[in-house]
Amino acid sequence: MKYLKIMLFASALGLFASSCQTGNKEVQEEKFRYLADEFADLRVIRYRIPGWDSLTFNQKEYIYHLSEAAKSGRDIFWDQNFKHGLKIRKVLETILENYAGEKESNDYSEFLVYAKRVFFSNGIHHHYAEDKFIPGCSQDYFKGLMTASGQEEMIEEIVPMLYDPAMYPQRKNISGQGDLLLGSSVNFYDGVSRKEAEAFYAKMEDPKDPRPISYGLNSRLVKRDGKVFEEVYKVGGLYGPAIEKIIYHLEKAAVVAENDTQRNYIALLIEYYKTGDLRTWDLYNVAWVEDTQSQVDFINGFIETYNDPLGMKATWEAVVNFKDLEASKRTEIISDNAQWFEDNSPVDAQYKKEEVKGVSAKVITVAQLGGDCHPTSPLGINLPNADWIRKEHGSKSVTIANISEAYNMAADEAPKSITNEFSWDESEIALLKDYGAQTGNLHTDLHECLGHGSGQLRPGTSSNSLKEFSAPLEEARADIFALYYLADPKLVELGVLPNEEAYKASYIAYIRNGLFTQFVRVDLGKTVTQAHMQGRKLIAEWCFENGKAENVIEKRVRDGKTYFVVNDFAKLRQLFATLLKELQRIKSEGDYEAGKKLIATYAVNIDPELHKELKERYAALDLKPYGGFINPDITPVEKDGKVIDYKVEYPADFLQQMLDYGKKYSVLQ
């Protein structure tokens, strides 16, 4: 089981014709501008923290210290992405701070775009597509910038890393050539081949252990003098100075926590950071997942495993949030009926949970993002990872309201929409405008709360059985679970959908995105590599191919433009049911070969002519396919030397925030 977060971008789904209602009145009154910057294929968005003033002083102070902890691990994520990442970041920071030459030239503008791309991706590889991106200015110009900023001695080391396409070409080795680990730029393995890594952990795993630890989660695997061993992330170990800073702020947060329950699991998290003991990590997760009453919540740790080619080692990340009490009524209805959804799932009975335990769901307001969740953020989160914890103690699912709202509001500020460009007719446009945002949020709820939390492994099946294919297969499984139930009359009965036609908006958007529009994020000639994109493509392509006999999904061409139209929504739902059954079987049995075949057949390759057409049509809209965020600043308000409040300010300069973070939170450089 991976860290389960769904990363949907409103521009790709075509859902931004409608916007969420939370906070709209306040935004309109203050004329708050959400869209802060656009460059390359990226847009940077500001998000608000509605409800901040309704929090108590202690809650604000608690959030403040948790937010400082969320930013204190920033260096860890940079180093995990690439072993030279921190050094390259320092070079860029030094140029931006010290270069005093001409700044109006095209070359300098290209340098600025490159610098912002590196900060956005937390490294020199695209945050989503995995490939290294190259500066738009010439090598000689870049060398000149380094010389002018006092870094001439580093030119021979740094410049080839940035400009040579053959050096560190991919964050993960997605080429299919060479060794999976030795050919990857991520910093989870040092000199260790795939065969050596798998053999190392095979010796550690006990297939009979009903509560296995997450082997390798918080370590780098290295090879020295022919010996393979782990360097554990902990105080006194790898990343120790940054972890000490995180602990410092967690200790400050514990003093003003809402209750003893929070203080208890913060203490366990601190103990884990000090010792690196993964059994303690499990104890922390059990205590954390059972806290469903606190209003303020957070995640902080080595959680996300998608960047590891083997799907075992976790990047560091953090999110600080508090519950949106009104909006959470919807997710509470869903979680209260979790057993009904499990019982009525179309999967084999042996792979269903007889008793769904501890499923909690809520809508949250994010106050701060950190590590692998910043600048790009999930729209929903489902934790913890360990299957045995989820089975015995349950899981927490969240839908992030203010991040979804910011996506939608930023899209509303754009002059054009992809909804009109890629919809076949006015009836599709009307469905998306009427129900797109609502069904999009509900899809996230179902994906996180029920999809990831559904099903169970067959006894003796390892959670790592699907290896490098586990992430896209898991995202596909959760997505298709949500899609299947979006059309169920039960949702109308429960009052979370207005009528039995609304679900069609989600089916239209999902199929169009999976078959077509999401590929705008992929360079021409490349394949799909990102886990969420592969999952969507797998579902849409499988349904398209398996529904051809009955023309369930039709490819139409009008005026030289391609459209994908759902002709039979009921039959499409049955296709979802069939594929969901197979995806659950693959996971429950750990059927690596079947999972591999699904990915290879449906999830990777893009039709080159269709891809070219998409790129041209999208370029005409002048929209950016990826979005990320500027964090609000939470700062103490003092009077007579005493903190009396905490205020929120909304900076608008992404690059300046990155430079400020470099000064305040750099401890590993």
pLDDT digits (tens, 9 = 90+) for 97-110: 999 999 999 999 99
pLDDT of residue 168 exceeding 50: yes
Q: Give me the pLDDT at residue 8, please.
A: 40
Percent of the chain predicted with pLDDT > 70: 95
C-alpha to C-alpha distances, 170 to 81, 130, 307, 474, nearest whole angstrom:
11, 5, 11, 23
Task: Spell out a b/e string for 51-66, using b for 16 or more CB atoms within 10 Å of the CB, else e.
Answer: bbeebeeebbbbbbbb
Q: For the sheet containing 315-323, what is the strand order?
A: 4-6, 380-383, 395-400, 359-371, 315-323, 296-304
CA distance linking residue 453 with residue 634, whole number of Å: 34
Q: Give me the pLDDT at residue 30, please.
A: 57
pLDDT of residue 294 exceeding 80: yes
Q: Give me the pLDDT at residue 17, please.
A: 33
Q: Give me the pLDDT at residue 462, please.
A: 86
CA distance linking residue 430 with residue 435, whole number of Å: 8
Q: What is the mean pLDDT of residues 392-397?
A: 90
Across the chain, what does the average pLDDT equal?
92
Helix (H, G, I), strand (E, B) or coil at 588: helix
Q: Using one digit for the tens of pLDDT, what is the confidence trace for 505-534?
A: 999 999 999 999 999 888 899 899 888 999
On whether the CB atoms of residues 369 and 318 are closer than 8 A, the answer is yes
* Bridge partners for 231 per DSSP: 220
Tokens in use for 263? 């203080």
Tokens in use for 156? 């021979």
* Bridge partners for 634 per DSSP: 648
Q: Give me the pLDDT at residue 430, please.
A: 94
Number of helices (H) and strands (E) in the chain: give both, helices first.
26, 16
Tokens in use for 61? 């102070």
Q: What is the mean pLDDT of residues 273-280?
A: 98
Instruction: Work out the number of other CB atoms within 10 angstroms of the CB of residue 79.
Output: 24
The closest alpha carbon to 185, from 167, 158, 165, belongs to 167
Q: What is the mean pLDDT of residues 297-309?
A: 95
Q: Give me the pLDDT at residue 327, please.
A: 84
pLDDT of residue 434 exceeding 60: yes
C-alpha to C-alpha distances, 564 to 514, 544, 553, nearest whole angstrom:
10, 10, 7
Q: What is the mean pLDDT of residues 549-554?
A: 97
Query: What's the CA dihedral at 275, 277, 279, 281 to 10 degrees?
Result: 70
pLDDT of residue 129 exceeding 90: no
Q: What one-character DSSP code corresponds to residue 521? A: G
Query: Per residue, what are the HEC states of 109-142?
Result: HHHHHHHHHHHHHCCCECCCCCEECCCCCCHHHH
Q: Give me the pLDDT at residue 23, please.
A: 37
Helix (H, G, I), strand (E, B) or coil at 491: helix
CA distance linking residue 114 with residue 230, whole number of Å: 34
Q: What is the mean pLDDT of residues 51-62?
A: 97
Q: What is the mean pLDDT of residues 284-304?
A: 96
Tokens in use for 71? 């930013």
CA distance linking residue 205 with residue 200, whole number of Å: 9
On whether the CB atoms of residues 569 and 507 are closer than 8 A, the answer is yes
pLDDT of residue 347 exceeding 90: yes
Name the helix (H) or strand (E) containing 500.
Answer: none
Of 329-333, 337-341, 367-371, where does mean pLDDT reach its minimum? 329-333
Helix (H, G, I), strand (E, B) or coil at 390: helix
**Looking at per-residue confidence, does 277 or 453 come out higher?**
277
Q: Using one digit for the tens of pLDDT, what is the confidence trace for 440-455?
A: 889 988 998 888 889 9
